[in-house]
Amino acid sequence: MAALFIGVDAGGTSTRCVVAGETGEIVGRGHAGGANAISVQGPSANLLAALRSALDGLDTGRVTAGVFGMAGVRAAWPAVERAWREAALPGKPRVVPDMLVAFASATAEPDGTVLIAGTGAVAARIRGWRVTRRADGHGWLLGDEGSGVWLGRRAVAAALAALDGRSAPTVLTGRVAEAVLGAPAPEEPELIDEIVSAVYSRVAEYGPAWLATLAPLADAAAREGDPVAVEIVREAARSLARTARVVDDGTGPLVLGGSLLTQPTELGRLVRAELDGGRHPVPAGDGAAGAAALALRAALPPDDPRAAEGHRRLIRQGGR
């Protein structure tokens, strides 16, 4: 009976799941809402939904191993264990840092550096498929500098500062008001209270990860040359580059992960410029495919050529 390997990449706004066979072919895919244990309430439900979607029509008894890439490994384990059990899967899965699956999604090399900027932000040094050093990734309240949540919060703060006269006017005022209120903005005297109330309400309902939905507003305004937005995005780029340099020793691949760095964003352009030193960053692929590759590697002897071959095949399919 051919074995199946599960890989899950659970972020703040989305969860992706891949089921792979012994040679690295992807036989199932699933997705659901965010399952970051730090910023999402009740993450196990979304983990379970992604698992069931990917395993639809497959024999769950063939599952041999599973790897979940998540921020906050200790905090994530109870949700992972519950979802795995409710999906009636055999054995026990493994939970690894999300930056490790991002790195594995881009390269079959065992050593290198990864910088991620999505809902959160973190950098890590990888050696032998293990995280040996990391910087930031402390969550929306204590760190994640340059992340989507950081950008979203700064965009709202800039809009409010412009409205009450603490900073220069910015196009972010109207765009934030429109995005947050979802309706024509009220007169200016009431606008500040309306924005503040709406933002706190959304965060209370959806968690801090909701702020990341406003990050594209700052990025787009910076691309258009709005001075306030330009400074916000430049600060984000400087922070991310600094985070990467802390852990990078200049050897092995430099992988950039997270939607803010893998999509054609102004932030991504500025980060690459900040990191320009003769190295050519590699964009991360599907983190779920990277997680499945780690599950496959864990089930095979380290020197088994099938591990590297299956890993490379998963990477090639990961972006499809």
Mean predicted confidence (pLDDT) in 91-97: 92
Print burial letters for 242-251: b (CB count within 10 Å at least 16), e (below 16).
ebbbebbeee
Q: What is the mean pLDDT of the chain?
A: 91
Each residue's pLDDT tens digit, 228-250: 999 999 999 999 999 999 999 98
Neighbours of 165 (CB within 10 A): 8
Residue 287 vs residues 6, 20, 56, 268: alpha-carbon distances, Å? 12, 13, 20, 18
Each residue's pLDDT tens digit, 278-313: 678 999 999 999 999 999 998 888 788 888 888 999
Which of 143, 171, 156 shows the shortest CA–CA distance to 201?
A: 156
> Which residue carries 């204590």 as its tokens?
142
Helical pair 148-163 and 227-247, crossing angle rounded to 10 deg: 150
| 320, pLDDT greater than 70 | no
What confidence tier does 36 reach under pLDDT thresholds 50, 70, 90? confident
Instruction: Identify the structural domains of the chain with CATH numbers, from first to last.
Output: 4-105+285-318 (3.30.420.40), 148-282 (3.30.420.40)
End-to-end CA distance of the chain: 27
Neighbours of 53 (CB within 10 A): 16
